[in-house]
Structure 1
Amino acid sequence: MDTLRDALDDWSSGGFGWLEWDGAVAEARTLFARFIGVNPTTVSAVGSLGEAAATVAASIPRGRVVVPAQEFRSNLFPWTAGHEVVAVPPRHGSTRLEDLIDALDENTALLAVSEVTSREGQRLDLSALRTATDRVGARLFVNLTQSLGALSFDLAAVRPDYLAVHGYKWLLCPRGAAWLVTRPDLVGELRPLAPGWKSTGPPYGYFAGPMRLATDASRCDASPAWLSWMGACAALRLMLSLDARIVERHCLALATRLIERAREIGLRPLNDGGLSQIVVLRVEEADTIAARLRHGGIRATALGDRVRFGFHYFNNREDVDAVVRVLSK
């Protein structure tokens, strides 16, 4: 927040240097690449998860894309542009790993999934999905928006062909800073959705001339919203100062505590798969409960017949107990 306040002060005074601000994109790319463990040349700086998915959808050969029917729309709707989408229905209200695997066949071009399903807080076994896609020769697109920052990610075990994350969730970035990571040998396939002056890579030109796409993943960079990327740099420096394994253990311990305490008062969690930092409880009158939680200084999301909570490193056991006190009423 201090970074953004300082930038706004500079802007309002007319004293800002836009070239310096524009450099925040390259710095954020480098910091993100270090955080996730990839080469910066494989990272595109985009504005949202939907843009990342749509970029891949427009770049790969037309084919069959398998996606959970309950997937967040930013990782669902982009695939409908030019592809046959196989939407795998939930079973008993939850996305099932085995159903996703069963939906794959030799005609599947790509499987698109989120590591954590935000409707029920389930953490999917990405390594198992990688094995399944390898078996049929399909590519794997992984959305880490609901996990990266709170949960650690094993890049070597998953080996995604494409990895995307919007930083405004668990990476604590301003909205508008997102990344698409592409397997190195597939970078040449990428085509920008909206080619512009950023598509050529440095040194950038402004006027006329031929369009020669950058040889690396920056060819799909969006024209940056400067403040978003300046804030992203500050957030990523903070995230890099933390031990990701310790952060994950802390967040999962809080989620486990809420699940146990919720069961004691008769509430049922909807996740019966892999544990994540997101806990979703089935309730009656979810909107009313969410309003009561807000009145008590607790933010939660009402989703029809359920209410969703998320834990990060800055939360503690007292936060869990405060939630339970409100739910007990």
Structure 2
Amino acid sequence: MLCQKDHFSIPDHVTYLNCAYMSPQLKTVMDAGIEAAHIKNYPFQIKAEDFFNATTLLRQTFSKLIGNPDPDRIAVIPSVSYGMAIVSKNLNLQAGEEILLTHEQFPSNFYPWQKLACEKKGRLVIVEAPNEDDRGKKWNEKILENINEKTKLVTIGNVHWADGTKFDLKAIRQRTSEVGALLVVDGTQSVGALPFDVGDIQPDALVCSGYKWLLGPYSMAFAYFGSFFDDGDPIEENWINRHNSEDFAGLVAYESNYKEKALRYAVGEHSNFSLTPMMQKALEQLNEWGASNIQQYCSQLTKAPIAELLSLGFRIENENYRGSHLIGIRVPDHLDVKALSNQFKKHDVYISVRGNAIRVAPHVYNDQNDMDKLVEIIKKAAL
């Protein structure tokens, strides 16, 4: 795969290595948004089927990205917190039962469980990363060791949002199945750039924001729900997630039954005539590129820089336990991370700092010049 920077509008002097914060917008996505902005100028042209057809296609396109054969298992939602609230509402947590999380998990995948555990007298089990060699391997081992008969739910990212540590979801799925626990995956920092197949992992739920690695607009997200949630309760009572909602003339013939599978969980106004076309274009492009190709491109792009930084005393997770698209570079104690961050800004290099780590998140719009610029700034600070 070659560099795809021409698909974006990033200025030549900018080195943007922060897709984990927010993706830049594809030109095709911008064009779709501009065209969509005109739709409501002519509301008389919006037909009843338009409330459903675009999101049906959107669910089909997202399903292709995650290897899901049944688009009715996908709900269009506005955020990860919305999806996690659905899981929380349908999790019958009993006193003494446990919810397992990783340390410093993203807040949207922490607060729901903190509140639920408090209300139901359950227990949060937060597995910290070991501060030693083979950190990723041993962190995964600790997670498996802490899953037991009291575990009701394991909720985890495919990779850790702060440093890219990769979690062995297949092993975690096997262990949760052994003890009868649910597995819920936050795919926000992985889906779109790291291959994910629901048939392979078999999560009970997968929730994913659209504005990062899915290259879509803010306030669009997706949730896959497995069979555990087929008869669950949504967190809002809207007209569009009920049976026969396509029949506008019969909407006041109130329907007590929800739509099947994940469709019952769709957010109200999910038809969103402005954002849906933008998200559709982004997903189509990702399916064309392929997550495995994106991951391979990022791997090739970062291989030499990582080797050089390791030789200078920086710590980076073993490639078997990290994604190539999201890399935590842990800084030696003698370096001032804030001062280093200021140097990046001075030279128009955009990354994130998370704790004592530089979070580097490249994509197909980056090239070797971007990586050389990053390494050169770090080397000047280190030597």
Q: Give the match for residue 60 of structure 1.
A: 91
Q: Which moved more, 1:192-201 or 1:280-289?
A: 280-289
Deviation, structure 1 residue 21: 6.7
Q: 1:243 aligns with which of 290, 309, 312?
A: 290
Q: How far apart in 1 are the matches of 2:199 and 2:179? A: 20
Deviation, structure 1 residue 273: 6.0
* Matched position secondary structure for 1:54: helix
Q: Which moved more, 1:48-57 or 1:298-307?
A: 298-307
Q: How far apart in 1 are the matches of 2:355 and 2:66? A: 34
Structure 2 unaligned spans of 5+: 1-29
Deviation, structure 1 residue 312: 1.6
Q: Give the match for residue 219 of structure 1.
A: 264
RMSD: 2.3
Query: Cα–Cα, structure 1 residues 78 and 237, in superposed 2: closer, same or farther, change >3 Å?
Result: same
- Any conservation in 2 of the 1:60–1:189 contact (CA below 8 Å)? no
> Which aligned segments of 4 or more residues in structure 1 are displaced greater than 6 angstroms?
none
- Any conservation in 2 of the 1:57–1:81 contact (CA below 8 Å)? no
- Any conservation in 2 of the 1:195–1:220 contact (CA below 8 Å)? no
Aligned pairs for 1:137-156 within 5 A: 137-156=180-199
Aligned pairs for 1:1-329 within 5 A: 1-11=30-40, 14-15=41-42, 17-19=45-47, 20=50, 23-38=53-68, 39-63=70-94, 64-83=98-117, 84=122, 85-92=124-131, 96-183=139-226, 185-201=227-243, 202-203=245-246, 205=248, 206-207=251-252, 209-223=254-268, 224=270, 225-269=272-316, 274-276=321-323, 277-283=325-331, 284-329=335-380
Deviation, structure 1 residue 226: 3.6
Deviation, structure 1 residue 233: 0.5
Letter in 2 for 1:275: R
- Any conservation in 1 of the 2:163–2:327 contact (CA below 8 Å)? yes
Q: How far apart in 2 are the matches of 1:91 and 1:194? A: 40
* Aligned residue-pair number: 326
Deviation, structure 1 residue 40: 0.6
Query: Cα–Cα, structure 1 residues 123 and 255, in superposed 2: closer, same or farther, change >3 Å?
Result: farther
* Matched position secondary structure for 2:366: coil
Q: How far apart in 2 are the matches of 1:151 and 1:142? A: 14
Deviations 1:220-272 (A, max 9, x none): 10122442222110101111112332222112222333321222333222668
Query: Cα–Cα, structure 1 residues 272 and 119, in superposed 2: closer, same or farther, change >3 Å?
Result: farther
Letter in 2 for 1:220: Y
Deviation, structure 1 residue 304: 3.1
Q: How far apart in 1 are the matches of 2:210 and 2:156? A: 17
Deviation, structure 1 residue 9: 4.3
Deviation, structure 1 residue 90: 2.8
Letter in 1 for 2:174: T
* Matched position secondary structure for 1:325: helix
Letter in 1 for 2:104: Q
- Any conservation in 1 of the 2:85–2:112 contact (CA below 8 Å)? yes
Bigger Rg over Cα = 2
Higher relative contact order (CA 8 A, sep 6+): 2
TM-score under structure 2 normalisation?
A: 0.78
